[in-house]
């Protein structure tokens, strides 16, 4: 038997307005950013269609282990960000542990990418080598810039939690940062098979 208070609570819960996570302007930025990457992806695909053998030969030089490990790192980081947002929403102190864990994953990703770049350059492979490596350095370079920006953002939020200045008023900003980080993760999930695996 449902009491009046139970009915009222259920009605309130079901009638709560739905909204997109983060601030509205963020979605405009993400739309523009994703369009930019989409154009690069399409350009890469056209180039691969016109020079399949050259692209395939160059692809085999890449080490998919690097790409696979970096994929796992970013997926782990996104999970940590989700847990941080949940903790912040519930006003639990665990947020101060999840944010640095997510940022640490971002640092490791960037470090591995730099090692991979150094390895390729030492082998004489640069953006000037051929079209494939031009796209490789451009696509992963722009993505790396997003990773660095997102990592700095996570560290800023972590610093706010350490100083107890991350109030409920900042939750929307943290949520917006989480959306950006998930976009960065999604971009890499596309880049990894596009550059390292597709034959």
pLDDT of residue 57: 95
pLDDT of residue 73: 97
Q: Express the helix, strand and coil content of the chain in percent, nearest 5 each.
A: 80, 0, 20
Instruction: Report residue 171 as tokens.
Output: 């939750």
Question: With a cut of 50, which residues of the chain have pLDDT below it?
Answer: 1-16
Instruction: Report residue 157 as tokens.
Output: 């939020």
Of the candidates 64, 37, 24, the one whose C-alpha atom is nearest the C-alpha of residue 146 is 37
pLDDT of residue 144: 97
Rounded-to-integer distance, Cα 122 and Cα 120, Å = 5
What are the tens digits of pLDDT across the range 60-88? 999 999 999 999 999 999 999 999 999 88
What are the tens digits of pLDDT across the range 38-67? 999 999 999 999 999 999 999 999 999 999
pLDDT of residue 7: 46
Rounded-to-integer distance, Cα 185 and Cα 32, Å = 17
pLDDT of residue 175: 87
pLDDT of residue 5: 45
pLDDT of residue 164: 73
Rounded-to-integer distance, Cα 150 and Cα 184, Å = 8
Residue 194 per-residue DSSP state: I
């Amino acid at each position: 038997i449902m009491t009046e208070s139970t009915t009222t609570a259920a009605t309130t819960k079901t009638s709560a307005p739905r909204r997109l996570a983060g601030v509205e302007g963020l979605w405009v930025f993400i739309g523009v950013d994703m369009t930019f990457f989409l154009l690069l992806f399409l350009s890469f695909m056209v180039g691969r269609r016109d020079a399949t053998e050259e692209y395939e030969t160059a692809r085999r030089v890449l080490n998919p282990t690097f790409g696979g490990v970096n994929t796992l790192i970013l997926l782990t980081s996104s999970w940590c960000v989700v847990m941080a947002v949940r903790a912040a929403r519930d006003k639990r102190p665990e947020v101060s542990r999840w944010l640095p864990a997510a940022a640490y994953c971002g640092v490791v990703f960037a470090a591995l990418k730099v090692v991979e770049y150094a390895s390729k350059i030492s082998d004489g492979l640069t953006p000037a080598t051929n079209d494939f490596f031009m796209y490789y350095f451009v696509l992963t370079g722009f993505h790396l810039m997003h990773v660095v920006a997102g990592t700095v953002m996570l560290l800023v939020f972590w610093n706010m939690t350490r100083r107890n200045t991350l109030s409920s008023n900042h939750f929307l900003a943290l949520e917006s940062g989480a959306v950006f980080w998930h976009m960065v993760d999604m971009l890499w999930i596309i880049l990894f098979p596009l550059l390292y695996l597709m034959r």
